[in-house]
Amino acid sequence: VLMATHDGEAYGMTINSFASLSLDPPLVTVVLRNDARLFGLVTKSRAFSVTILSAAQQELAERFAGKLRGAERMAGLAAQTPAGGAPLLEGGLARLDCRVVHTYAAGVNTLFVAEVVEARVHSTEDPLAYHDRGYRKLA
């Protein structure tokens, strides 16, 4: 789940394009549609967080995948806001606090390259994976 905030508006969504780019410095990439609500927040704030969910958190992934809209999506969730400003969901396997360092236009999408300024691992349980239109367990 990727989350961002700007001018008091916080929002999050389940993303399907997230990858490690470099270990030194620690860089990740994420692709967002230019018309997505989260695109505007990440573009303005230049920051985002990523929460890696466990296999037991499919319902949370679905919540952020579009089942709920607007403030309903964020209602009642436990989140922390570190110094970087992007909210971090509580209860995931791992959390990354990221700062955007480059953006690349790619048709109707934008590729964001971000430096990981803080990373925390909370559990070694199985991660939630989505492949071929369904949630899967990694072997």
pLDDT tens over the chain, length 139 residues: 999 988 878 888 999 889 999 999 999 999 999 999 899 999 999 999 999 999 988 988 888 887 666 667 666 676 666 666 677 777 889 999 999 999 999 999 999 999 999 998 988 888 998 888 888 877 6
Residues 6+ apart with CB under 8 A from 8: none
Q: What is the pLDDT of residue 35?
A: 95
Would you say how long the chain is, in residues?
A: 139
Phi, psi of 134 (to 5 degrees): -160, 160
Name the DSSP letter for residue 86. Answer: -
CA atoms within 13 A on the CB side of 134: 3
pLDDT of residue 32: 96
C-beta of residue 26 within 8 angstroms of C-beta of residue 114:
no
Domains in the chain and their CATH numbers? 2-136 (2.30.110.10)
